[in-house]
Amino acid sequence: MADSLREEVEAGNAAFCAALSAGDLEGVADAFDAEAVMLAPGAPAANGHEEIRAYFEQGPRISGPVMRPTRIEEIGDAVAEVGDYTMTVTMPGEEPFEDAGKYLCVRRRDAEGRLRLWLDTFHSDRIAG
């Protein structure tokens, strides 16, 4: 894998995390491909910008997210990424909690050549009890 691909993925992650932390829902939705599917824990699949935006508008507030890719692979025109994350999560009406988990995403390039999240899923290591 070229260093430039890793740098591009990490820059995309940094921009996505900054938008999440700032509550910038347009910036969050813009990180995703128009045909994206996001599979979040405890929620139905979110398809496309509108549903992904609605998930973050109505669901958890995220602060201090950090994504750490552990594997990045080019697969044809797509880029698969596996990694782990940490963040502070505040669910509506609840106290904030620290969360850590893992994620798998596949990105593809848009018409301008920018890598965008296309297929995204994440899973908390936190056990509900």
- The answer to whether the predicted template modeling score (pTM) of the entire model surpasses 0.75 is yes
**pLDDT recorded at residue 2:** 55
**pLDDT recorded at residue 8:** 96
Distance, in Å, from the CA atom of 5 to the CA atom of 77, rounded to the nearest integer, reads 12
What would the CATH number be for the domain defined by 3-124? 3.10.450.50
State percent of the chain over pLDDT 70: 96
State percent of the chain over pLDDT 90: 88
φ/ψ region of 33 (left if φ > 0, alpha if ψ in -120 to 50, else beta) reads beta
Q: What is the pLDDT of residues 34-85, one digit of tens each?
A: 999 999 998 999 999 999 999 999 989 999 999 999 999 999 989 999 999 9
Distance, in Å, from the CA atom of 77 to the CA atom of 2, rounded to the nearest integer, reads 15
